[in-house]
Chains A and B, each alone.
Chain A
Amino acid sequence: DGGITQSPKYLFRKEGQNVTLSCEQNLNHDAMYWYRQDPGQGLRLIYYSQIVNDFQKGDIAEGYSVSREKKESFPLTVTSAQKNPTAFYLCASSLGFGSPLHFGNGTRLTVT
Chain B
Amino acid sequence: AQSVTQLGSHVSVSEGALVLLRCNYSSSVPPYLFWYVQYPNQGLQLLLKYTSAATLVKGINGFEAEFKKSETSFHLTKPSAHMSDAAEYFCVVTTNRDDKIIFGKGTRLHILP
Binding site for B on A (CB under 8 A): 4, 6, 31, 33, 40-43, 45, 48, 50, 56, 88, 90, 92, 97-98, 100-106, 108
Contact = CB atoms under 8 A, between A and B. Distances in A.
Given A97-B95, A98-B32, A42 B103 contact: yes
Given A97-B98, A104-B43, A43 B103 contact: yes
A104 B101 CA distance: 17
Contacts, number: 57
A41 B9 CA distance: 10
Given A90-B44, A105-B43, A108-B41, A100 B49 contact: yes
B95 to A, nearest CB: 6
Contacts of A104: 43
Contacts of B103: 42-43
24 contacts: A6-B43, A40-B9, A42-B103, A43-B44, A43-B90, A43-B103, A45-B101, A48-B99, A50-B99, A92-B43, A97-B94, A97-B95, A97-B99, A98-B32, A100-B46, A100-B49, A101-B36, A101-B92, A101-B101, A102-B46, A103-B45, A105-B42, A106-B43, A108-B41
Contact of B97 (A40, A97, A108): A97
Interface string B20-50: 0000000000001010100001111110010
